């Protein structure tokens, strides 16, 4: 069974980024990126339109026709960007946060009519690769590194997918659609190829078994928790999940179990003591 949602704290403050490179390496990359004087992502006014964020979970293959006819922005994370281009889908944006050379390998072709949203911690080679393209620099909230005092920080989960809705929010969008955010595998690891890794584990949600990895369980947990936060407040984000994987099943389970409703009721009553909050959960 999935763990319950955290009853306290804000989803935009509780997740550390999960990367291979240590803080010193990430800091050097950030310092290098700042010297390039690239345009930065800042908080924009609310705008109309919607954003499709496309990851590489196996279920995204079921939505090729939907994405071909999409009437809004389409952002591809890592290799999903090139995968879409090979299937007649025209992504308008690329998202990347990895501080390794890996992101360069995700961009064998770099169309001029796309925007490349690259996190400041990305490998300097990525910025060299995109030197003649429309790059927008953004900053991940990360307690282990230092950002400029005027940087607009993007909070969220420990992966690019977990930050994407908050990046869309910063750019003024309030309607976000997630494709391929399965956090689990079927017969293959990702929609663009690769066999299942050796270190898969089983996760059970609502009586169903999903083959996944521990880092993807974390990703799903973080994302499902943020779904509550995104729906709150006077200016919420509408986040819609497509597909059938661990993340989608987890979200459905939490919704059906009433966990979200209990969380929202508690959040609306901050003056209650612990005993009163427990009583509300019955």
CB 249 within 8 A of CB 208: yes
pLDDT digits (tens, 9 = 90+) for 19-61: 457 999 999 999 999 999 999 999 999 999 999 999 999 999 9
CB of 80 closer than 8 Å to CB of 55 = yes
Task: Please state, as a whole number, how many other Cβ atoms lie within 10 Å of the Cβ of residue 255.
Answer: 14
Q: Count CB neighbours of 14 within 10 A.
A: 15
CA 162, 167, 168, 169 dihedral sign is: positive
Chain mean position to CA 258: 24
Q: pTM of the entire structure?
A: 0.85
Measured in Å, how far apart are the chain's first and last C-alpha atoms?
20
Tokens matching residue 236: 């919420």
Q: How far apart are CA 178 and CA 198, in angstroms?
A: 27
Residue spans of beta strands (DSSP E) within the chain = 51-54, 73-77, 93-96, 115-119, 134-140, 153-154, 175-179, 201-205, 208-212, 238-241
Are 261 and 5 contacting, i.e. CB atoms less than 8 angstroms apart? Answer: no
Contact 85, 109 (CB under 8 A): yes
Q: What pLDDT score was predicted for residue 7?
A: 34
Structure tokens at 16: 């550390």
For residues 142 and 151, give the distance between their C-alpha atoms in angstroms, rounded to a whole number. 12
Q: Rounded to 5 degrees, what angle do the CA atoms 54, 195, 193 make?
A: 40
Write down the pLDDT at residue 264: 52
> Domain residue spans in the chain?
23-280
How would DSSP label each residue in 254-274?
HHHHTHHHHHHHHHT-TT--H
Per-residue pLDDT of the chain (282 residues; tens, 9 = 90+): 333 333 333 333 334 444 457 999 999 999 999 999 999 999 999 999 999 999 999 999 999 999 999 999 999 999 999 999 999 999 999 999 999 999 999 999 999 999 999 999 999 999 999 999 999 999 999 999 999 999 999 999 999 999 999 999 999 999 999 999 999 988 666 766 666 778 889 999 989 999 998 999 999 999 999 998 899 888 999 999 999 999 999 999 988 876 655 555 555 555 556 555 555 444
pLDDT of residue 233: 81
Torsional sign, CA 8, 180, 53, 249: negative
Q: Specify which residues 193 forms β-bridges with.
A: 190
- 156 SS3 class: coil
DSSP-based three-state secondary structure for 117? strand
pLDDT score, position 13: 39
Structure confidence at residue 261 (pLDDT): 56
At 200, which helix (H) or strand (E)? none
How far, in Å, CA of 119 to CA of 137, rounded?
A: 6
């Amino acid at each position: 069974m999935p763990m319950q949602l955290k009853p306290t704290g804000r989803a935009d403050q509780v997740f550390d980024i999960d990367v291979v490179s240590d803080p010193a390496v990430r800091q050097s990359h950030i310092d290098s990126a700042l010297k390039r004087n690239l345009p930065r992502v800042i908080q924009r006014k609310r705008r109309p339109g919607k954003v499709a964020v496309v990851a590489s979970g196996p279920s995204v293959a079921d939505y090729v026709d939907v994405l071909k006819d999409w009437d809004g922005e389409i952002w591809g994370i890592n290799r999903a960007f090139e995968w879409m281009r090979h299937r007649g889908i025209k992504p308008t944006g690329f998202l990347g946060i990895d501080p390794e050379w890996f992101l360069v390998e995700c961009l064998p072709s770099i169309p001029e009519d796309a925007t490349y949203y690259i996190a400041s911690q990305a490998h300097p080679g990525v910025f060299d690769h995109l030197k003649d393209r429309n790059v927008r620099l953004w900053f991940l909230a990360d307690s282990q590194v230092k950002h400029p005092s005027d940087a607009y920080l993007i909070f969220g989960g420990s992966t690019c997918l977990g930050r994407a809705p908050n990046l869309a929010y910063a750019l003024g969008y309030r309607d976000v659609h997630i494709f391929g955010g399965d956090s689990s595998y079927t017969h293959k690891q990702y929609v663009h190829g690769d066999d299942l890794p050796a270190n898969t584990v089983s996760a059970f949600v609502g009586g169903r078994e999903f083959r996944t990895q521990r880092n993807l369980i974390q990703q799903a947990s973080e994302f499902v928790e943020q779904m509550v936060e995104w729906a709150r407040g006077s200016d919420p984000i509408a986040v819609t999940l497509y597909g059938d994987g661990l993340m989608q099943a987890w979200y459905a389970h939490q919704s059906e179990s009433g966990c979200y409703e209990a969380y929202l009721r508690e959040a609306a009553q901050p003056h209650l003591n612990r005993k009163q909050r427990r009583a509300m959960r019955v």
